Amino acid sequence: MITKSNPDDILIAGIGITPVGEHWSKQLRSLALEAISAARRDAGELVPEAIYVANSLAPVLSSQTQLGALIADFAGLRGVEAYTIQAAEASGGAAVRQAYLALQSRQIDVALVVGVEKISERPSAELEDALVMSGDADYEAIHGVTTAAQAALVMQRYMHEFDLPEDAFAGFCVNAHANGANNPLAMFQRAIDEKKYAKAPMLCPPVNMFDAAPIADGAAALLLTRAGVFPQTPAHAQVRIAASSQATSTLALHDRPDLLSLSAASDSANKAYRLADIQAKDIEVFELHDRFSIFAALSLEACGFAERGEGWKLAQDGSIRPEGSIPICTFGGSKARGDSSGATGVYQIAELCLQLQGRAGGNQIPNVRTGMAQCLGGTGATAATHILQRVDDS
């Protein structure tokens, strides 16, 4: 599919990514600046007029609010309008959406989105309390559920209803790690095979250690602008946002009319397909939410790549591999590249953009033109979806 440029297109002009890891010596503001500086260099030093910070945990883990002003101040952008956009693990996609809307309004010509999280500030048990705040505080968290337990409740029911074998989800981990091995910025760069998955210790049955993404510090930044504003001779192939959408579902897992259906993900994806005037089959690469393998399977189903109860088969039969029909997590995903909670959505879009620009190095999928990125908040209460397309002129 060839897409011609249009001056109203919202383009991703610059990308900056830091590795996900335990950045003990870096403050949140410094980590953010690293990503911002890289993105600005990549964009030919565009100056943002608005900053959207994607962050979920700083108020709880770092006792820090008002990140918009903090980062504007620290990044040499004092005075620029700035906000934090928070939708738990969908913060990244949600922040890109706000930037997109602002650019479409024409009141803003250049927007900076920076996703940043400092996870390593607290012991893991305290982190668990912070993470589960994305659920219902009075009717879920009070009972001691963790995000892993919530994923396990869904996965347990899924495996029960569809009568699945124990290692049904192994393919997600194998794919993620195989791709992570080619990503120099990935947290884990070593392949894992099915045998290792089968022997992995249990976290919350049936979720085992390799069904769950590692979570650590990270920052990723994007500079967005309208095509009419962008310099005439861009350094890289242009990528436009063909669709941006967001939808919500019930906050609490127990209120879902169908526990095994991510309605926010399907509502958001269907809206995006309509806006981009395409169908699921036109998506050539999908950076999906793989914080837990069950959500990867359900995301594939929600977005029309598999029937209900069959998402896991796409992992089993290799469809999700780079050479398959619907490659996912091409840079390692949350599982191998590393998850950074509210920042992950920005990583996904950055990586998708690199794919479409032909800058994905060892993870490059040949000739991709159209891709989708989707991040989910909590157990799927929020879904933010973006469809990106490579723009070919001449």
Partner 1 sequence: MQLPRHWRLNKQRYALEGEICTHCQAKIFPPRDICPDCGEAANTPLAFSGRGQVYSFTKVNQPPASHEEQAPYTVALIKLDEGPTVTAQLTDLDEDQQSVEIGIPVEMVTRKLYSDGDLGLLIYGYKFRPLIEHA
Q: Rule CB under 8 A: which residues touch partner 1?
A: 123-126, 128-129, 132, 136, 138-146, 148-149, 152-154, 156-157, 160, 202-207, 250, 252-255, 259
Distance CA 284, CA 324 (A): 10
Q: Please enumerate in sequence order all residues whose Cβ is within 8 A of that of 290, keeping only pairs 6 or more positions apart, or say none.
A: 172, 176, 213, 296, 299, 328, 329, 333, 334, 335
Q: What tokens were used for 332?
A: 């390692």
Of the pair 6, 124, the CB lying nearest partner 1 is at 124
Contact of 292 with 148, CB cutoff 8 Å:
yes
Q: Are 39 and 346 in contact (CB under 8 A)?
A: no
Amino acid at 21: G
Residue 57 or 373 having the CB closest to partner 1 = 57
User: How far is residue 160's CA from residue 15's CA, in Å, rounded to a whole number?
Assistant: 42
Q: Decide if 339 contacts 291 (C-beta within 8 A).
A: yes
Rounded to the nearest whole angstrom, what is the least distance from the CB of residue 298 to partner 1 in the complex?
14
CB of 259 to partner 1, least distance (A): 7
Q: How many residues does the chain have?
A: 394
Closest CB 256 distance from partner 1, rounded Å = 8
By CB atoms closer than 10 A (0-12, 13-18, 19+), residue 207 is: buried
Pairwise CA distance, residues 39 & 220, whole Å: 8
HSE-CB at 290 with a 13 A cutoff on CA atoms is 38
Give the nearer residue to partner 1 in terms of CB position, either 22 or 161: 161
CB nearer to partner 1: pick between 75 and 203:
203
Cβ proximity to partner 1: between 153 and 241 the closer is: 153
| 316 HSE (CA, 13 A, CB side) | 13
What's 200's DSSP letter? P
In the complex, least distance from residue 134 CB atom to partner 1, rounded to whole angstroms: 13
Minimal distance, residue 163 CB to partner 1, in Å = 12
Q: How far is the CB of 305 from partner 1 (least distance, A)?
A: 24
CB of 135: closest distance to partner 1 in angstroms?
A: 8
Minimum CB separation of residue 157 from partner 1 in Å reads 4
Nearer to partner 1 among residue 5 and residue 156 (C-beta) = 156
Residue 126 or 317: the one with the smaller Cβ distance to partner 1 is: 126
Please, which residue, 206 or 332, has the CB nearer to partner 1?
206
Min dist CB 260 to partner 1, Å, is: 10
DSSP letter string, 64-117:
---HHHHHHHHTT-TTSEEEEE-BTBTHHHHHHHHHHHHHHTTS-SEEEEEEEE
Triad 258, 262, 265: Cα angle to 5°: 150
**Residue 31 vs 253, nearer CB to partner 1:** 253
